[in-house]
Structure 1
Amino acid sequence: MWLQVSLFSLSCLLLSIQTQAQDRASLHRSNDPSGRCHYTFTVASPQESSCPGSNSEMDRVLSRLTLLEALVSRLLAGADEGTMTGVGAKREEGLQEAYSQVTGERSQLQQDKERLNRQIQELQRRLAELSQEAESLRQKPCQQTLTSLDTQHENRPANDHGYDFGNSGYQEMKAEVTEISASHLFHEGSHNFTGCGELVSVGDPVSHRKAESITGKYGVWLRDPEPQGPQYTNNTVWRIDAVGRDVRHLFAYEDMDQFSRGLPMKVLVLPEPVESTGATVYRGSLYYQRRLSRTLIRYDLASEYLASRMDLPQAGFHGQHPYSWGGYTDIDLAVDEQGLWAIYSTSKARGAIVISQLNPESLEVKKTWETNIKKNSVANAFMVCGRLYTVASYTVPNTTLNFVFDTATGVGQAVSVPFKNKYSYNSMVDYNHAERKLYAWDNFHMVTYDIRLGRASHGRS
């Protein structure tokens, strides 16, 4: 731009000189090449308006100036247009990129907001259930306990100081009577057993054995609560290491002492491979799920043959509806005072836990209940007195039993019974009603828990 202005100024100067020369005479003073001063006097001709050929040089200069001005104008115009186009394109590209980024972040924030809203709703629902249950427990059990104590206090002998409720000896005797093993109360064929009640506490885990290799990270171990025959008794311990693709070995130990030492008295080879940690032992038979199928198998321990097999109708298998820890725990077989159970889920139930009571001989389904407990939201489950209990977490050291479902009433509710995962990877929990214990496999460790049931429910069989 400065070049264009300079050229324009030069043109104006030359034209001004020419005009002034035509209007009046002028005197010029300048030095010659040798440095001497020269005076030049110029007078306009009164007859001739111009001298032929005298302005040719000036015309050529003016023509060149005009062409140069035009060229500079075109160059400057093209440069400005190109610069503006490039700047505009870069600006548009930057705006488009920023818009895409903002749109993506907005979508992600919306998803996070919806997820947090769902979590808040679920927590509010569970809080309401726990609050209702806590209020119920504050009112009902306390009233029963006070009534019972008042009745005993009124009927005690006036001179019997040993009967004082504050006496430590009496408290110890009462606790011992309360903890009488169910095996002393339960007999085969007895339908008048009234030792059942709601589970109110789970003791600390007691470790009995640690697996020697990676195949023992998780598995099944338990004792038969109702053994049949002299070959295997209620002291016999059974164990299956469940890690592997072709799990078939069933280890038998004479008693808990031999089990703790790792000295099996026999190793049985099963006819079909085992799927995961859902097996159980009951009335002289091993019950388990065949690998990669919904087929249930009853294996007779005394004769060592496959006694019966049956597909569990519509049951998910091999990772369709496992517990939260995985392990293909789709079908979990359990035993309690009322018999043999299957804990599983179906496509119809949309992942909610389904409970079926099974015929222990034929494995046919006798009756089924559908709960509203999502199977993959709990770590494990077991049956006690016809009630399903679920474990909240398999890794949290101090977790809880968080739900119970009563098959007698068809009603489920939230509970909060403390439960400990001592070794932080609990993959199997089963109940032995003869011992009133839970058997569990916690990260290579085989442990048991003593449990305590509440007041007996005489209305249950």
Structure 2
Amino acid sequence: MWIRFAVCLCCLAVGCQGQDRTASLRKANNDFSGRCQYTFTVDSPAESSCPQAGAVGTEMEGVASRLTLLEALVSRMLGEPGAAMVGEAGLQTAEEVSQLQQDNQRLNRQVQDLQRRLEELTLEAEQLREKPCQQPQPSGVTTGVTTADSDPAFGSGAFQEMKAEVSEVPAPPQIRQHGQNQNQNQNQNVTKGCGVLVSVDEPVTHHKVDSITGKYGVWFQDPEPAGPPYGPKVVWRIEAVGKEVRQLFAYEDMDQLVRGFPMKVLVLPEAVESTGATVYRGSLYYQRRRSRTIMRYDLASESLAARLELPHAGFHGQHPYSWGGYTDIDLAVDERGLWVIYSSGKAKGAIVVSQLKPNNLEVKKSWETNIRKNTVGNAFMVCGRLYTVASYSLPNTTVNYVFDTDTGESQAIAIPFHNRYRYNSMIDYNPGNKKLYAWDNHHMVTYDIQLA
């Protein structure tokens, strides 16, 4: 009997394990015969396969929560507007959804820009593969890329910079020189002390302007002074940073300039545009602000003596030098008199040189070159020849082009030129002492030159 009882017990245990059922053995009280009674309880197949009601509720809540989070994540990735709120989970707010949509649009635009840029680069690479290798150009023909000055003190866009690349542009056939056949022999006469520029010495620093308005400026001495009260030793200075530049500083000589003690400050009746002014025969010649008008200001009487609206000349950033600064109109002096360097819409950005009568500013003659004005750092006149400087910021650059008004022809040259302080905003020639005057990043410097 006990054997049969043990076998039954084993079968029950095995069956419960195989069907994942629960079984319990409970001992009851003895019967009337004194024997022990045992009671076995086994779950039916239907009961053992069904979880409890509380467990089902908890599991369903967990599944619902996971589904809600999953829907929110999918909506967030797709940027759907219906995913503003996610119930009690609080995954994101309406502001976050709006921000996500903006980010998605911005990323899409960036992807489109990158794809377009990739297509352009691919096309450019194919074009370069089809072109033969070019030989390097002569020294002085090209310059590097300059760094833009972002100082907010100089005003928004007031002194813009551009990439400096020198390239010759064929001049239209009808120009070359206005009135070229008139008085040709007179222009070819040799001027006393004249020659071709062959070298420029290292710069000599005379004074530094520490104020913020002194980064750009113009300074000079009169090569042919008209007499008292201002002689040949007087130094003139204009700080060209500002919206209304009117002050003209006069110093008795170089020593007083170094000490910073002006003998007089003249207030001009019309504001100055940029760094293209010069002094000649007792008068200041400059461009009036935001116009193509050239002014002649008599220094002795401190009054305007003449004015001229330069026909078709670009102004206020239309055709400046490569550093910008509204250097559209640049006045210059040499052994042959007063000049103006500019460009016009007709010239399509090429440099135009005109010789002026000093008294009434009447244009005597004009020449159109094949040198683009915005590809050179600056220019000056020596003995009737226009010389250009390749870069205003490279410490070691060159005088890279010369245009001869006698022949109407230009050629590339390579005369070393040094921008010691790496921001040369003005270069003018003084025929009286054969020096170049320059304003290089707050510093007033001169260069000795050699003429052949």
State if a TM-score over 0.5 links the two structures: yes
Give matches, 1:40-51, under 5 Å.
Answer: none
Query: Displacement of 1:422 after TM fit?
Result: 0.3
Retained in 1: the 8 A contact 2:139–2:414? Answer: no
Which residue does the alignment assign to 1:418?
416
Residue correspondence of structure 1 range 118-197 to structure 2 within 5 A: 124=135, 126-127=137-138, 193-197=191-195
Q: State the distance in 1 between where 2:235 and 2:131 align.
A: 43
**How far did residue 231 of structure 1 move?**
1.0
Q: Secondary structure at the match of 1:270?
A: strand
Query: Could you tell me which residue of structure 2 aligns to residue 209 of structure 1?
Result: 207
How far apart are 1:212 and its partner, in Å?
2.2
Look up the equivalent residue of 1:396 and give its one-letter code.
L
Spell out the pairing of 1:422-437 with structure 2 (5 A cutoff).
Answer: 422-437=420-435
> Aligned pair in 2 of structure 1 residues 128, 212: CA closer, same or farther (>3 Å)?
closer
Q: Displacement, 1:230?
A: 2.2
Amino acid at match of 1:232: Y
State the AA in 1 paired with 2:329: I
Cα contact 1:129–1:413 (8 A) shared by 2 = no
Query: Per-residue deviation at 1:126?
Result: 3.8
* Residue 107 (structure 1) aligned to one of 107, 119, 134: 119
Change (3 A) 1:210 1:315: same
Q: Give TM-score, length-normalised by structure 2.
A: 0.62
- Identify which of 364, 367, 372 aligns with 1:366: 364
Of 331, 334, 338, which residue of structure 1 is paired with 2:332? Answer: 334
Structure 2 SS opposite 1:271 = strand
- Give the aligned residue type for 2:203: P
- Residue 389 of structure 1 is aligned with which of 387, 390, 397? 387
Aligned-pair CA distance for 1:125: 8.1
Shift of 1:229: 1.2
Q: Secondary structure at the match of 2:449?
A: strand
Gap runs ≥5 in structure 2:
1-10, 12-77, 79-108, 142-188
Unaligned runs of 5+ residues in structure 1 are 1-34, 36-89, 91-96, 131-190, 455-461
Deviations 1:373-404 (A, max 9, x none): 11110000000000000010111101100000
Post-superposition Cα deviations, 1:171-226, rounded to whole Å, max 9, x if no partner, equal: xxxxxxxxxxxxxxxxxxxx874321110000000000000200100101000000
Q: 2: CA distance between counterparts of 1:270 and 1:118?
A: 59
**Cα deviation digits, residues 65-123 of structure 1 (max 9, x gap):** xxxxxxxxxxxxxxxxxxxxxxxxx9xxxxxx9x97996355221464489799999x7
Give the whole-Å Cα distance in 1 for the aligned partners of 2:396 and 2:119: 38
Counterpart CA distance in 1 for 2:430 and 2:440 is 17
Would the alpha carbon gap of residues 101 and 247 (structure 1) be closer, same or farther in structure 2, given more than 3 Å must change?
closer
Contact 1:253–1:264 (Cα < 8 Å) also in 2: yes
- Structure label with greater radius of gyration: 1
Give me the whole-angstrom Cα distance separating, in 2, the residues matched to 1:371 and 1:297: 25
The alpha-carbon distance between structure 1 residues 129 and 319, as it changes in their structure 2 partners (threshold 3 A), is closer
TM-score, normalization: structure 1?
0.61
The DSSP-based 3-state class of the residue aligned with 2:325 is: coil
Residues 219 and 237 of structure 2 are in contact (CA less than 8 Å); yes or no, is this contact kept in structure 1? yes
Identity %: 67
Q: Secondary structure at the match of 1:314?
A: coil
CA distance in 2 between counterparts of 1:274 and 1:358 reads 19
Partner of 2:295: 297
Change (3 A) 1:328 1:124: farther
Tell me the secondary structure at the aligned position of residue 224 of structure 2.
Answer: coil
- Aligned residue number for residue 306 of structure 2: 308
Q: CA RMSD in A?
A: 3.1
Q: Would you say how many aligned residue pairs link Structure 1 and Structure 2? A: 303
For residues 20-47 of structure 1, the C-alpha deviation after alignment (integer angstroms, 9 at most, x for no partner) is xxxxxxxxxxxxxxx9xxxxxxxxxxxx
Distance verdict in 2 for CA 1:211–1:115, change over 3 Å: farther
1:353 and 2:351 are equivalent in the alignment: yes
Q: Give the 3 Å change call, closer, same or farther, for CA 443–114 of structure 1 in structure 2.
A: farther
* AA at the equivalent of 1:204: E
